[in-house]
């Protein structure tokens, strides 16, 4: 953590920004308190980039809107009922929230909000001490009622008051604890962890969308593993991702197979390392589809584990895992495209293994590319990351084999435009050659030509026409 002097310099720089000065002066003219609060204060003090400007004020939402309108700011509601107004001020997007207190009732998915009167009362109700600091503006006075500075220095995550009360008021805070542990590399203090265990079932009142969003934020961390471990250890993951906690039950104390849970975490770590190393755009964000696939790629193993004379087997765990992932991600309200792509990666993640024993034909390589589709680059990373063996010779053999398949894909792509594998004849040409109208037979003919393309590569329109007519003659003969 930077020195106190450096932290104050960072805070002064934020406070000196034109939009912040304009806002602070406007609220002061209307005799309302105004403060930078939460994440921006924390990140500035840690020397991290400040990407969001969150403010709190004594002004009621309608008063905030009036002040912003007077400033000529563009305004939109992101949660007026919860006291939050968003605006664009001098080119900067900001959120301003009225001092508040909120709690969840036992059977409610939404907080009940009441507005407060003091900055101290507002800060005490926030999630963690490191997020419970405010910089009063324009006077530049730091308000820290719960020891947030001390916890930043100690790299600790704790609630301002009773953890039971905090997590009862907003159970999502338990997931936020895991996320901050991963993002900041901080430790959640023991009594807060114990409260997470006791109140895990309280998470059931939170909407799937909010849980999904926290999971995504956690996976966006450079190292999400500490947060994932915390979710599993406190049984929170069991409430929304039971397939992950089921991997713990497949741990093997007798050495008959590798620890599936620890293997999955290692694969996720290696996936993130490769993803970052292979990014063509340094500004690109984390690949959530790939990270979800890495975390969940073996969730089909518990259901398929069999103890056989030859050893432990997990036959078809790729297919079972893909189905489980689809079901779980849909329940978490992930969009259809994400669900489809994650499931495809899980379904294909075993396809490569065995290539090193018997290199594939060109036809098999083409099918691999065809089946992976737009996820081919992600499949390359996931498949490589799935190698966690401690046997150096085996690891090197698999690495060299995948080098070879990537080389062959590149060579075939250059020679055959492999990324756009399609028959030489399109639907209109097929109908003209066969003298038929649109219908199921066109799809059958297209599939025949696609198989021809995959098996033999580009054959040209003339040969494709000859083979199609020969196929059609056989179809007509069988129909007689």
- Which of the listed residues 240, 275, 291 is the one where a domain comes to its end? 240
Q: Please check the confidence at residue 17 and state whether its pLDDT lies above 80.
A: yes
- DSSP run (H or E) holding 346: helix 336-348
- According to DSSP, the β-strands at 112-115 and 133-136 are unpaired
What is the structure's pLDDT at 187?
A: 97
- The residue-averaged pLDDT of 223-230 equals 98
CA distance 193 to 179: 13
Instruction: Determine the pLDDT at residue 373.
Output: 84
Query: How far apart, in whole angstroms, are the C-alpha atoms of residue 373 and residue 234?
Result: 38
Q: What is the pLDDT of residue 141?
A: 94
Is the Cα dihedral 409, 414, 419, 420 positive or negative? negative
Within a domain: 306 = yes
pLDDT at residue number 251: 58
* Whether residues 160 and 147 fall in one domain: no
CA 411 to CA 413: how far, in whole Å?
A: 5
Question: In whole angstroms, what separates CA 241 from the centre of its chain?
Answer: 14
Closest CA to 56 of 39, 43, 37, 28: 37
Low-confidence winner among 339-348, 352-361, 434-443 (lowest mean pLDDT): 352-361
- Name the nearest CA neighbour of 7 among 36, 35, 37, 42: 42
Instruction: For residues 409 and 370, give the distance between their C-alpha atoms in angstroms, rounded to a whole number.
Output: 11
pLDDT for position 211: 97
Mean pLDDT, range 9-38, rounded to an integer: 95
Distance CA 369, CA 372 (A): 5
Specify if 333 maps to a domain.
yes
Q: Greater confidence, 130 or 101?
A: 130
Q: What are the φ and ψ backbone dihedral angles of 13, each rounded to 5 degrees?
A: -65, -40
Cα separations in angstroms, 353 against 141, 185, 409: 61, 35, 16
pLDDT at residue 123 in the model:
95
| Claim to verify: residue 148 and residue 234 sit in the same structural domain | no
The CATH number given to whatever domain includes residue 174 is 1.10.110.30
Report yes or no on 46 lying in a domain: yes
Q: Give residue for tokens 């964000």.
A: 285
Q: Are both 135 and 182 inside the same structural domain?
A: no
Mean pLDDT of 8-22: 92
How far is 184 from 165, CA to CA, in rounded Å? 24
Same domain, 187 and 198: yes
Question: In which element (H, E) is residue 188 found?
Answer: strand 187-188
pTM: 0.81
Report d(CA 470, CA 323) in Å as an integer.
39
Domain residues for 216?
Answer: 155-240
Is pLDDT of 212 > 70? Answer: yes
Residues 216 and 329 placed together within one structural domain of the fold = no
Same domain (yes/no): 150, 186: no
Among 4-8, 350-354, 401-405, name the most confident range: 401-405
Is residue 63 included in any domain, yes or no?
A: yes
Residue 253: the pLDDT is 45
Structural domain total, the chain: 4
Q: Does 103 share its domain with 53?
A: yes
Given a cut of 70, is residue 223 above it in pLDDT? yes
Tokens 């219908």 locate to 439
Whether residues 322 and 414 fall in one domain: yes
> Of 191, 209, 240, at which residue does a domain stop?
240
Rg (CA), the chain: 29
pLDDT at 324 over 60: yes
From CA 436, how far away is CA 78, in angstroms rounded?
56
* One domain, residues 118 and 61: yes
**61 in any annotated domain:** yes
Cβ atoms of residues 340 and 348 within 8 Å: no
My answer on whether 345 and 435 are in the same domain is: no
Residue 380 lies in a domain: yes
Considering the domain architecture, whether residues 167 and 224 belong to the same structural domain is answered as yes
On whether residue 248 sits in a domain, the answer given is: no
For residue 267, the domain's CATH number is: 1.10.3210
Mind listing the pLDDT tens digit for each residue in 117-169? 899 999 999 999 999 999 999 999 999 999 999 999 999 999 999 999 999 88
Q: How far apart are CA 193 and CA 270, in angstroms?
A: 27
CB 151 within 8 A of CB 157: yes
Tens digits of residue pLDDT in 243-286? 999 998 775 544 444 589 999 999 999 999 999 998 888 778 99
Given pLDDT bands bounded at 50, 70 and 90, which one contains residue 479?
Answer: low
pLDDT score of 110: 61
Mean pLDDT of the chain: 88
CATH number at residue 24: 3.30.460.10
Reading the block at residue 262, the tokens are: 């620890």
> Of 402, 420, 438, which residue sits at a domain end?
420
- Tell whether 145 and 159 lie within a shared domain: no
Q: Tens of pLDDT along 398-428?
A: 888 888 888 888 877 766 555 456 777 888 8
Percent of the chain at pLDDT > 90 equals: 58
Write the CA distances from 438 to 4, 433, 442, 443, integer angstroms. 74, 13, 6, 9
Is residue 254 situated within a structural domain?
A: no
Choose from 271-275, 311-315, 363-367, 463-467 the range with maximum mean pLDDT: 271-275
pLDDT of 436: 82
């Amino acid at each position: 953590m930077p020195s106190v002097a450096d932290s104050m310099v960072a805070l002064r720089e934020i406070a000196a920004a034109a939009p912040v000065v304009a806002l602070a002066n406007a609220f002061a003219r209307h005799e309302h308190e105004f403060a930078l609060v939460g994440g921006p204060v924390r990140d500035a003090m840690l020397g991290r980039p400040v990407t969001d400007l969150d403010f709190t004020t004594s002004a009621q939402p309608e008063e905030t809107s009036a002040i912003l309108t007077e400033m000529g700011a563009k305004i939109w509601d992101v949660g007026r009922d919860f006291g939050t107004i968003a605006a664009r001020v001098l080119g900067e997007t900001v959120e301003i929230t009225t001092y508040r207190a909120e709690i969840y009732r036992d059977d409610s998915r939404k907080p009940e909000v009441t507005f407060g009167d003091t900055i101290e009362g507002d800060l005490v109700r926030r999630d963690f001490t490191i997020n419970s600091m405010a910089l009063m503006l324009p006077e530049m006075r730091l308000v820290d009622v719960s020891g947030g500075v001390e916890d930043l220095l100690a790299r600790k995550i704790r609630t301002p008051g009773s953890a039971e009360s905090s997590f009862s008021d907003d159970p999502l805070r338990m997931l936020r604890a895991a996320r901050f542990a991963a993002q900041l590399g901080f430790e959640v203090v023991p009594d807060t962890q114990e409260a997470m265990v006791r109140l895990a079932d309280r998470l059931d009142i939170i909407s799937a969308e909010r849980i999904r969003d926290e999971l995504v934020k956690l996976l966006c961390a450079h190292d999400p593993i500490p947060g994932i471990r915390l979710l599993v250890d406190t049984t929170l993951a069991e409430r929304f991702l039971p397939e992950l906690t089921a991997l713990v039950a497949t741990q093997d104390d007798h050495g008959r197979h590798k620890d599936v849970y620890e293997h999955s975490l290692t694969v996720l770590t290696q996936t993130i390392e490769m993803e970052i190393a292979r990014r063509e755009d340094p500004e690109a964000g984390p690949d959530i589809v790939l990270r979800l696939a890495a975390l969940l790629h073996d969730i089909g193993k518990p259901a398929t584990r069999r103890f056989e004379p030859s050893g432990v087997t997990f036959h078809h765990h790729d297919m079972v895992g893909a189905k489980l992932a689809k079901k779980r991600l849909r329940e978490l309200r992930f969009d259809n495209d994400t669900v489809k792509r994650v499931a495809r990666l899980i379904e294909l993640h075993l396809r490569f293994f065995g290539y090193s024993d018997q290199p594939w034909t060109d036809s098999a390589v083409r099918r691999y590319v065809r089946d992976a589709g737009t996820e081919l680059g992600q499949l390359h990373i996931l498949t490589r990351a799935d190698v966690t063996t401690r046997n150096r010779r085996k690891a090197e053999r698999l690495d060299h084999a995948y080098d070879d398949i990537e080389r062959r894909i590149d060579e075939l792509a250059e020679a055959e435009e492999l990324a756009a594998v399609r028959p030489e004849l399109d639907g209109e040409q097929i109908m003209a050659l066969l003298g038929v109208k649109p219908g199921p037979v066109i799809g059958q003919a297209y599939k025949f030509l696609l198989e021809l393309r995959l098996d033999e590569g580009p054959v040209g329109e003339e040969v494709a026409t000859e083979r199609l007519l020969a196929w059609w003659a056989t179809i007509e003969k069988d129909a007689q």
